[in-house]
Amino acid sequence: MPRLLADFEACQGYGNCITGASDVFDIDDDGTVVLLKEEIPEADRARVEEAARSCPVNALTIED
């Protein structure tokens, strides 16, 4: 199953990923992304990929 990876150092808390997929991404009190799931079902892939690509600092990637 495709796997979601986050670069927690790069994350700046822009929050676009959460708007794109709030069931997958959240933010902690310090403004860093939280992954609510790391394995992404194929059916959700387009939506999560697009949310990941809305990150202004490319902190999110999906690996096969």
Give which of 61, 47, 59 is closest to 15, Cα–Cα.
59
43 touches another protein by CB under 8 A = no
Give which of 27, 12, 13, 21 is closest to 52, Cα–Cα.
21
| Binding residue (CB under 8 A) for another protein from 8, 19, 23, 37 | 19
Between CA 48 and CA 18 the distance in angstroms is 10
For another protein, the closer of residues 29 and 39 by Cβ is 29
Q: Which residues bind another protein (CB under 8 A)?
A: 12-16, 18-19, 22, 26-31, 45-46, 49-50, 53-54, 56
